[in-house]
Amino acid sequence: METRELTVVAGSFVTFQLLFSVVSPLLSAVLTPAYGLVPANKLTEWNSRLVSTVHALVVGLFCLYILCFDDKVNADPVWGDPTLVKLNVAITCGYLVYDLVLLACNWSTMGDGFFVCHHLAALYAYGYVLTRGVLPYFANFRLISELSTPFVNQRWFYEMLKYPRSHRLVVLNGVAMAVVFFLVRIAVMPPYWASVFATFGTESFARLGLGAQVAWISSCIALDVLNTIWMYKIARGCYKVLTGAAARRSKAAPEPEPLAAPPPSPPQDAVKNHAD
């Protein structure tokens, strides 16, 4: 790994740590008065999810820019010029390291084996991008999935602020979350794997070597299995929200307003997402 990539990874780690420990608490207290009513054992996750949203927006939008305008990467998905992709991947690696440290330090309240597996699989695969500059198109393509993260986090924020599930903002965000998650994590699987299979047997694929080939394919399989599990949970939650809202409308009951009171703990099956 070149000095530039190491610097970006380290800078990303420090930046996200500052966002978590300094910026998020101050900004949340100003913009959301109910932040002070969030239970102490949930404040860490609140700040973590705000940082996660910032990372997802930065990396996701950068990813779209590369997909639309980086002709060298799109022309040669295995060995194309990785300059911009390596920058985006380095930002993500810094975030993943920050999040793993955060999970380890707060395992009793935030620990999740799925996320540890997700982060380690992503770091394993992205390590080849940073050290050898290979597979830039495929690495960047995987980062499209980050665009669903803000909706997942917003769902959790609404629960912490005690918005009832029938509230129109909760319903709209739930539908948007399910739709976007499906589009950027599930619907992209066929074209992504079609592109992967198209490289098999080519000279470009052979040049990767067995190590990179195994890291690439195995990590993609692991990530897609996790995405499928999460999609099932999100779809189930969205169905409950929609059917619950429809039942309440049929009774013509007035829609309750969110309460500014200490919120209950979220349900055990609530989807958590620090990053993809």
Q: How far apart, in whole angstroms, are the C-alpha atoms of residue 149 and residue 185? A: 11
Q: What letter does residue 18 receive in the DSSP assignment?
A: H
- pLDDT score recorded for residue 275: 46
Q: How far apart, in whole angstroms, are the C-alpha atoms of residue 130 and residue 82? A: 9
Task: Output phi, psi for 257, to 5 deg.
Answer: -95, 155
Q: Quick one: average pLDDT of 59-85?
A: 92
In single-letter form, the type of residue at position 234 comes to: I
- 211-245 CB burial, b ≥16 within 10 A, e <16: ebbebbeebbebbbebbeebbeebeebbeebeeeb
Contacts (Cβ under 8 Å, ≥6 apart) of 187: none
Q: How far apart, in whole angstroms, are the C-alpha atoms of residue 90 and residue 94? A: 6
Confidence of residue 261 (pLDDT cuts 50, 70, 90): very low
Per the CB < 8 A criterion, the answer to whether 145 and 184 are in contact is: yes
**Looking at the predicted structure, is the pLDDT value of residue 229 above 50?**
yes
% of the chain residues with pLDDT over 70: 88
Max Cα-Cα span within the chain: 65
Confidence of residue 44 (pLDDT cuts 50, 70, 90): very high
Confidence of residue 4 (pLDDT cuts 50, 70, 90): confident
* Mean of all residue pLDDT scores within the chain: 87
- pLDDT score recorded for residue 238: 82
pLDDT digits (tens, 9 = 90+) for 116-136: 988 998 898 898 899 989 999
Q: How far apart, in whole angstroms, are the C-alpha atoms of residue 184 and residue 60? A: 10
Per the CB < 8 A criterion, the answer to whether 215 and 124 are in contact is: yes
Q: Quick one: average pLDDT of 220-243?
A: 87
252's torsion region: left (phi>0), alpha (psi -120 to 50) or beta? left
Confidence of residue 257 (pLDDT cuts 50, 70, 90): low
Token pair in block for residue 129: 């991008």
pLDDT digits (tens, 9 = 90+) for 132-144: 899 999 999 989 9
Shortest CA distance to 142 belongs to which of 88, 200, 102? 88
Strand, coil or helix: what is 251?
coil
- pLDDT score recorded for residue 74: 87
